[in-house]
Amino acid sequence: MIMSEKSKQHVDSCRFCWMCHHICPIGNATGHERSTPRARALGISLVNRGAIDLPEIMDNIYECAGCGACVRDCVTGWDPVMFTKEVRLQAALEDKLPAYINTMVDHCLEAGNAYGKTALCEKLAGAIANHSAAADTLLFLGADARYMVCEQGYKAIKVLEKAGVSFTVLADEPASGAQLDYLIGAAEETKEQMQAAARVMNAYKTVVFYDPADAKIAKQTFGEYGIELDCKAVTYTSFLAELVRGGALKAEDKGKTVVFQDPFQLSRDLAETEEAREVVSAFATLHEMHLNRGETVWAGNILMAQYMPEVIKLVAERRIFNAKSLGESIIVTASVSEYAALKNADRNGVEILSLEDLILG
């Protein structure tokens, strides 16, 4: 298998190291050694040495959420996410992707999302139509909010309306490239999708990214892939925080005590941790999860639930248990994908709210 020398070095350093063994949310949920970054590195090294074939490890390669907990926890600077993404790209180039991944890649290329969906729910479509006129600010909802949790996309629009913001929402919003980047990494198809999205975004002064996954791609990965974004790219959470500070979104105590679930894309990738807390604190009493901010524990997503639903359910339930063990009964999220995963789990009496639920409720 063709790999960069840098990735080979990281693989060989990780394959017998247990430093991040305890921190992987998938490994902790399954209890299987094969699900850990160390085991992934060992499998890749066996392929590199000709002991096994690449297809034998591909299911394991797609157990990685890319959440970066292992990278943050490694004091020696090794990066399992980097070499995992490189293997996915190589498998795509060699036509050795699992069938279920190929299907999602085809959906991304044909429909613009991994789910193969093209129709919006009626409620969201109506809300989008009300904001079809051109404005300086574009609200970019993302695939998960548009096609899988449309109620939250609708509420995201309603929050900005509540604050009196003038903004556009596109009926034919392009894919950001986030899903293809997860599935096959820095392939030409991924870069082309990102370039097409950037051309649309650059028609606006400000683009507000509702989904942290899209925000991470636009604010970080575009630049890594040489794609220029001329507009001001901001996260939905930071945009709301500015509205709260300026008084456009008026603080209102909802009488709730909550904990906040940090999306790793915000807290680890973009180093944004306080903006969402400003918003939550304007509407509720905020307590903290035991592992928060940069040390957050990923709570699952919609994309991986398409091919490993029971594992993602376990991941979400472990995070709910974290809150329950602290005596907390309400988790507030800023990721539509984690929101969906948590809502789909056995919540054991814990209520799951999005930022929008908290503000509008």
When pLDDT is averaged across residues 246-261 and rounded to a whole number, the result is 98
Angle of CA points 166, 171, 173, to nearest 5°: 95
The tokens for 277 are 């807390």
pLDDT for 19: 85
pLDDT for 356: 98
CA distance 281 to 168: 28
Would you identify the CATH topology of the domain 122-241?
A: Rossmann fold (3.40.50)
Which residues have a Cβ under 8 Å from the Cβ of 165 and sit 6 or more positions away?
A: 137, 243, 248
pLDDT for 228: 95
Burial of 246: CB neighbours in 10 Å, binned 0-12, 13-18, 19+: exposed
pLDDT for 60: 96
Q: pLDDT tens digit string along 93-143?
A: 999 999 999 999 999 999 999 999 999 999 999 999 999 999 999 999 999
* CATH architecture observed for domain 250-360: 3-Layer(aba) Sandwich (3.40)
Closest to 322 in 3D by CA, of 294, 350, 280, 303: 350
Coil, strand or helix at 309: helix
When pLDDT is averaged across residues 242-266 and rounded to a whole number, the result is 98
Average pLDDT across the chain, whole number: 97
The pTM of this model reads 0.97
Higher pLDDT, 287 or 2: 287
Whether the pLDDT of residue 1 is over 90: the answer is no
When pLDDT is averaged across residues 311-329 and rounded to a whole number, the result is 98
pLDDT for 18: 84
CA distance 321 to 39: 26
Question: What are the start and end residues of each CATH 3.40.50 domain in the chain?
Answer: 122-241, 250-360
Q: pLDDT tens digit string along 189-236?
A: 999 999 999 999 999 999 999 999 999 999 999 999 999 999 999 999
* 209 in Cβ contact with 143 (< 8 Å): no
Under the banding of pLDDT at 50, 70 and 90, the label for residue 21 is confident
CA distance 140 to 71: 29
